[in-house]
Amino acid sequence: MDTTTQFRGVAWTGPEQLALEDRPSPQHTTSNEVVIRIESVGVCGTDVTIWRGNYPGVPAGTVLGHEFGGTIVEVGADVADRAIGQLVAVDPNIVCGHCPECATGSRALCSERRLMGLDLDGGLQTQITVDASQTIPVPGNPDPKSLGLVEPLAVGVHACSRAGVTSGARVGIIGGGAIGMACALQARSLGAGSVTIVEPDALRRATIGEYGVTAIAPGETPAERWTVAIDTVGNGTTISAVMGLMERGSTICVAGLAEGGTLPPSKDLVHHELTLTGTFCYTSEDLHTAAELLSIHGLAALPNDLVHGLDQAPAAIASYAAGHLGRGKTIIIP
Ligand SMILES: [Zn+2]
Ligand SMILES: [Zn+2]
């Protein structure tokens, strides 16, 4: 390997600007840390929001990437349960560890939560040093390129849990992006009776069909009323539309953060005795469930487009921001 380019990272330097920078050689500084050679980094809407300069408080120079994993190449002296060569995903949430939310594993709700790739450097680099407790071993023999899928899969696992998906449920999902597909995968693993995704993009509908999930366009009527719905878009229009498709007494879980999201009039909720709930991020347990899903399904867990080389990352993120969504999750292989 060329030593002059051995340690590099893609840093956000200002609106619509990314710089490929040399990085210092990563070393563990405490005995509880591990060094990871990063093998896989997912790109999502949050990265695009940061790239545009629309995410307040992100320090210029931050290395992007909160969906990532790789191979452990160095282990601190006090780390007993991780080994060199082990493949892990990284939990990018850094939390206080002692508040009531942290105690229950609901790390996303910790008031001191900081996110790698947003508040501090993330995974879009060749190597990273993290506390060993931030790593999630992926069982089996996963494709290293798939490791960046654990984080978005965990979002789907948590959404299904919050929505109360159970065996036999008729599940509707609004939006066929990575989170919608992660919800579909987990719903099927929970034994859902049917899963239907509403997706406006024809290419994505075709891809969803290849994954064995029913895809319909917005405005089309599903074959049966849903007993559970997960809205990964979350604007007022989508939530209103979902309400008209639900069985009485059913649950709608909102996962999307669309700007201008508003809730529909309360009378529909009341007359049909619907439960409306929200979902954010995931728990520690959800990450482990996601790692198991990945070990079963591998790189095919979610539709994806691989981009090879950190130097290709700025163009890939700009293309995603321009609306070229591709088949699914963009994964950068450093
Ligand atoms: Zn993400
Ligand atoms: Zn906490």
Residue pLDDT, tens place only, 185-234: 999 999 999 999 999 999 999 999 999 999 999 999 999 999 999 999 98
- Report how far residue 156's alpha carbon sits from residue 282's, in angstroms, rounded to the nearest whole number: 8
Least confident of 110-119, 254-263, 317-326: 254-263
pLDDT at 151 > cutoff 60: yes
Say whether both 205 and 307 belong to one domain. no
146 inside domain: no
- The beta-carbon contacts of 83-87 under 8 Å, at least 24 apart in sequence, are 86/137, 87/39, 87/137, 87/138, 87/142, 87/144, 87/147
Say whether both 196 and 247 belong to one domain. yes
Say whether both 130 and 176 belong to one domain. no
C-alpha of residue 215 to centroid of ligand 2, in Å: 39
- Report how far residue 196's alpha carbon sits from residue 215's, in angstroms, rounded to the nearest whole number: 6
Ligand nearest to the CA of 42: 1
Ligand nearest to the CA of 320: 1
Give the contacts of 70 (CB within 8 A, at least 6 positions apart).
36, 37, 38, 39, 40, 87, 88, 90, 123, 127, 128, 144, 147
Question: Which pair of structure tokens corresponds to residue 134?
Answer: 């931030």
User: Amino acid letter at 324?
Assistant: H
C-alpha of residue 104 to centroid of ligand 2, in Å: 10
The per-residue pLDDT for range 110-136, each reduced to its tens digit, is 999 999 999 999 999 999 999 999 999
Least confident of 36-40, 62-66, 107-111, 120-124: 107-111
The per-residue pLDDT for range 17-29, each reduced to its tens digit, is 999 999 888 777 7
Predicted pLDDT of residue 29: 77
C-alpha of residue 197 to centroid of ligand 1, in Å: 20
- Report how far residue 25's alpha carbon sits from residue 223's, in angstroms, rounded to the nearest whole number: 56
Question: Average pLDDT over the chain, rounded to whole?
Answer: 93
Predicted TM-score (pTM) of the model is: 0.95
Say whether both 123 and 195 belong to one domain. no
Ligand nearest to the CA of 104: 2
C-alpha of residue 118 to centroid of ligand 2, in Å: 18
User: Amino acid letter at 183?
Assistant: C
Say whether both 18 and 127 belong to one domain. yes
pLDDT at 1 > cutoff 70: no
Say whether both 72 and 187 belong to one domain. no
C-alpha of residue 99 to centroid of ligand 2, in Å: 4
Ligand nearest to the CA of 151: 1
C-alpha of residue 66 to centroid of ligand 1, in Å: 6
C-alpha of residue 206 to centroid of ligand 2, in Å: 42
pLDDT at 293 > cutoff 90: yes
Say whether both 127 and 195 belong to one domain. no
Say whether both 132 and 210 belong to one domain. no
273 inside domain: yes
250 inside domain: yes
pLDDT at 261 > cutoff 80: no
Say whether both 15 and 76 belong to one domain. yes
271 inside domain: yes
284 inside domain: no
The number of folded domains in the chain is 2
Say whether both 109 and 187 belong to one domain. no
C-alpha of residue 46 to centroid of ligand 1, in Å: 6
User: Amino acid letter at 312?
Assistant: Q
Predicted pLDDT of residue 142: 92
Nearest to 150 by CA among 72, 105, 108, 90: 90
Q: What is the CATH number of the domain that holds 131?
A: 3.90.180.10
Predicted pLDDT of residue 4: 45
151 inside domain: no
Say whether both 11 and 105 belong to one domain. yes
142 inside domain: no
Domain range spanning residue 206? 159-278
Q: What is the CATH number of the domain that holds 167?
A: 3.40.50.720
Say whether both 107 and 192 belong to one domain. no
C-alpha of residue 283 to centroid of ligand 2, in Å: 12
| 255 close to 230: Cβ distance less than 8 angstroms | yes
- The beta-carbon contacts of 200-207 under 8 Å, at least 24 apart in sequence, are 201/176, 201/325, 203/325, 203/327, 204/176, 204/177, 204/303, 204/325, 204/327, 204/328, 205/176, 207/176, 207/303, 207/327, 207/328
